Amino acid sequence: MLSMILIELEKIFRKWRTYIGLAAIIVLVALIQTVMFIQGDQYGNMMLQSLRQTFSIDAKLINGYLLAFLVKGLTYVHIPFLVTLVSGDILAGEATGGTIRVLLTKPLTRSKILLAKYITTEIYTLLVVATLALMSYAVSVWLFGPGQLVVINSDGVVVLAKNDVAWRFIYSYLYIFLGLSTVSTLAFFFSSLVENALGPIISTMAVIIVFTALSFLDVSSIRTLKQFFFTTHIAGWRLFFDDPIQWDSIYKSGSILLGHCIGLFGITWFMFTRKDVTT
Amino acid sequence: MNTPVIEVSNVRKEYKGFTAVDGINFTVYSGDVFGFLGPNGAGKSTTIRMLTSLIHPTSGSIKLFGKDLSTHREEILANVGAIVERPDMYLYLNAINNLELVARMYGANSSKKHLMSILEMVGLAQRAESKVKTFSHGMKQRLGIACTLVHNPQLIILDEPTTGLDPQGMKDIRDIILHLSKDRGKTIFLSSHILPEIELTANRMVIINRGKIVVEGEVKKLLNDDTVKLMVHCSPIETATTIIAESNWNSFFVDVEDGALRFDIPTVNVAGLNQYLVEHGIEVHSLVPTRSLEDYFLKCIEQAEVTNMK
């Protein structure tokens, strides 16, 4: 199995498409950091104008922590798209190139091949999250320094002390990994169905957009359903910045995302191990 | 005594409302170069996909090396090298990297020395470091064959390996197949829709048409018994026509086509016809036998239908 995972990793890292996602994160975050570096105070004052009328805030608000927090907003659409570049291609790309036949005529069970490919996509997803963490957290803190983190959530304003932030970021990045894994598992599922890598990428993004749009509809029938949409829970990393933290909500959201991963991989496995390869 | 390497019994493959393979039976023995002949859409690729477990038969049994493919898949495939449909490779890798990847998938020797010796054998050693996307179709075919050899399998399955190649490319592939069979003792299952290709390489063959086996046997015996279309270029052609009309050879004579006499004649009688014409003062310039797969098929199918009627 390890040998197969290494082979799969070698295959994806020999494709230039794999580096697009990582490069895009670096460029996007660097761009945000540059803008904030130049016009950060102006932006901070504008953002906190109303707060200053109510609270007496004398701390430096635009700091590395706030920037890292804001950058995480990219995980709604932008970074899921980048993740699908690899997970959507990993099976469909083999079908397009015909190499799926090369692969499946080897003395390896289909389950083993599928699992090796899935683990490879998850390693890539982890690498995407690690790049995001490195760029958004480590580089931002290095550039702007640490400080109090002022977060506005649905319950109001939360001010987190400087020494109470780092661990929240670590947990939130792990949670983001779970959210992006759900996206990559969905793209992996679509990838097992088609013979063109573009299909899984478009289908996954379509699902994200449609489900997100449905979540905004305040209709009773959807209200019940939307609590099970994975898109509802992708933003669950924000829960780590509540005070006090609602651990029950985090466990619930995390379980729904994990359930999606297991369910989607299960369906993929069931279909892939039984299907006739006619490409 | 030769041992069976492939045993296909009553294998059937149905897709929605369509039977691609209809209860076929055949056996390939150790050391055979086994020709699997049929026109496009006859069921060749479907059969090869079933032999390599890419698709599952609807019914019937496939045994390789005496073991059931459905229950001993990994064990069997460890001893099989196959090109199914096309020799598809990872185009972004070079030739030796492709070979190395395949060798690692088999858990076989992936040392550069071993891989280079295989590339040497298929005539690609000079292009070992070239990316496969720069390869011609013929080179890809040769690399595909190299990939089937990295783990030194007993059985090699090649699906139309000369399709799309120029005459030199076809000869190169034929030479490799004959080398693998004669010098390395491999059993080769070779599918094709080109009869001469099978005639030049295989010792046994089956013909499949519309999912059914039409003919099975030794290539030499099957083809020597066959009637060929013979074009006789001779002069004077009018005299030759008169002489033929007055002789027993007239029963094989069809017509004058493109300035030549056309006969449908058993191959064993060709020499006799030539002698007869020469003895009667006809200058014979050439005798060109043509035996298209289509003609051979039609004959086989006609015979099968006659047998069924009886």
- The residue of chain B with its CA nearest to that of A108 is B74
Cβ pair A98:B80 closer than 8 A? no
Beta pairing class for B204-209 and A156-160: unpaired
Q: Which of A101, A104, A279 to mutate to test the interface with B (most CBs of B within 10 A)?
A: A101
Give B-chain residues touching A11 at CB under 8 angstroms. Answer: 90, 101
Cβ pair A105:B101 closer than 8 A? no
Enumerate residue ranges in chain B where pLDDT < 50: 1
Q: Which of A9, A102, A195 to mutate to test the interface with B (most CBs of B within 10 A)?
A: A102
> Does the structure show a pLDDT above 70 at A57?
no
Cβ pair B105:A103 closer than 8 A? yes
Its pTM stands at 0.81
Q: State the pLDDT at residue B292.
A: 60
- Taking only the tens place, the pLDDT of each residue in A7-18 is 888 888 888 888
> Does the structure show a pLDDT above 60 at A58?
no
- The residue of chain B with its CA nearest to that of A5 is B105
Q: State the pLDDT at residue B156.
A: 92
Q: Which of B83, B84, B150 to mutate to test the interface with A (most CBs of A within 10 A)?
A: B84
Cβ pair B88:A97 closer than 8 A? yes
- The residue of chain A with its CA nearest to that of B89 is A99
> Does the structure show a pLDDT above 80 at A41?
no
Is any Cβ of chain B less than 8 angstroms from the Cβ of A218?
no
Q: State the pLDDT at residue B232.
A: 92
- The residue of chain A with its CA nearest to that of B98 is A11
By residue count, chain A amounts to 279
Give A-chain residues touching B148 at CB under 8 angstroms. Answer: none
- The residue of chain A with its CA nearest to that of B147 is A102
Q: State the pLDDT at residue A103.
A: 86
- The residue of chain A with its CA nearest to that of B133 is A97
Least confident of A51-60, A214-223, B17-26, B101-110: A51-60
Least confident of A120-124, A128-132, A220-224, B286-290: A220-224
- Of B215, B190, B213, the closest CA to residue B203 belongs to B190
Give B-chain residues touching A19 at CB under 8 angstroms. Answer: none
Give A-chain residues touching B93 at CB under 8 angstroms. Answer: 14
* Mean confidence (pLDDT) of chain A: 84
Give dist(CA A63, CA A172) in Å, integer: 18
Contact residues, A window 75-114, toward B, CB-based 8 Å cutoff: 97-99, 101-109
Please give, rounded to a whole number of angstroms, the shortest distance from the CA of A222 to a CA of chain B. 38
> Does the structure show a pLDDT above 70 at A50?
no
Please give, rounded to a whole number of angstroms, the shortest distance from the CA of A265 to a CA of chain B. 21
Give the other-Cβ count within 10 Å of B70's Cβ.
13
Q: In three state form, how does the secondary structure of chain A look?
A: CHHHHHHHHHHHHCCCHHHHHHHHHHHHHHHHHHHHHHHHHHHHHHHCHHHHHHCCCCCCCCCHHHHHHHHHHHHCCHHHHHHHHHHCCCCHHHHHHCHHHHHHCCCCCHHHHHHHHHHHHHHHHHHHHHHHHHHHHHHHHHHHCCCCEEEEECCEEEEECHHHCHHHHHHHHHHHHHHHHHHHHHHHHHHHHCCCCHHHHHHHHHHHHHHHHHHHCCCHHHHHHHCCCHHHHHHHHHHHHCCCCCHHHHHHHHHHHHHHHHHHHHHHHHHHCCCCCCC
Q: State the pLDDT at residue A63.
A: 80
Q: State the pLDDT at residue B301.
A: 66
Which residue of B54, B56, B74 is in closest CB contact with A101? B54
E strands along chain B, which residues? 4-15, 18-29, 33-37, 59-64, 67-68, 80-83, 155-159, 187-192, 204-209, 212-218, 227-235, 253-257, 260-266, 283-290
Cβ pair B92:A15 closer than 8 A? yes
Q: State the pLDDT at residue B224.
A: 66
> Does the structure show a pLDDT above 80 at A279?
no
Which residue of B54, B82, B86 is in closest CB contact with A277? B54
